[in-house]
Amino acid sequence: MHNVRLLLLLVTGLLGGIARADAPAVMTALAPFSASYEVSLNNLPFKARAEQTLVSLGGDRWRLVLRIDSFLLDTLEFSEFRWDGTNCHTIPDHYGYSRKGIGRNKSLDMRFDFNKRTLTRYDGKTVTSFAIPDGTEDKLGHTLALTCRIARGARGTLGVDVAWDSDVRHFDYQIAAREETVGTPAGTYRAWRVERQRADSDRITTSWLAASTGWRTVQMQHSEGDGKLFQLRLLDLNHAPAR
Q: How many CB atoms lie within 10 A of CB 24?
A: 11
Contact 39, 6 (CB under 8 A): no
pTM: 0.87
Q: How many CB atoms lie within 10 A of CB 153?
A: 9
CA-to-CA dists, residue 73 to 68, 99, 105, 111, 204, angstroms: 8, 7, 9, 25, 23
pLDDT tens, residue order, the chain (243 aa): 444 444 554 555 566 665 544 444 454 689 999 999 998 877 666 677 899 999 999 999 999 999 988 777 788 999 999 999 999 999 999 999 998 877 678 999 999 999 999 999 999 999 999 999 999 999 999 999 999 999 999 999 999 999 998 999 999 999 999 999 999 999 999 999 999 988 777 788 899 999 999 999 999 998 877 778 888 999 999 975 444
Q: How many CB atoms lie within 10 A of CB 85?
A: 15
SS3 148: helix
Interior angle at CA 15, CA 153 and CA 74, nearest 5: 175
Task: For 141-199, write each residue's pLDDT tens digit.
Answer: 999 999 999 999 999 999 999 999 899 999 999 999 999 999 999 999 999 999 998 87
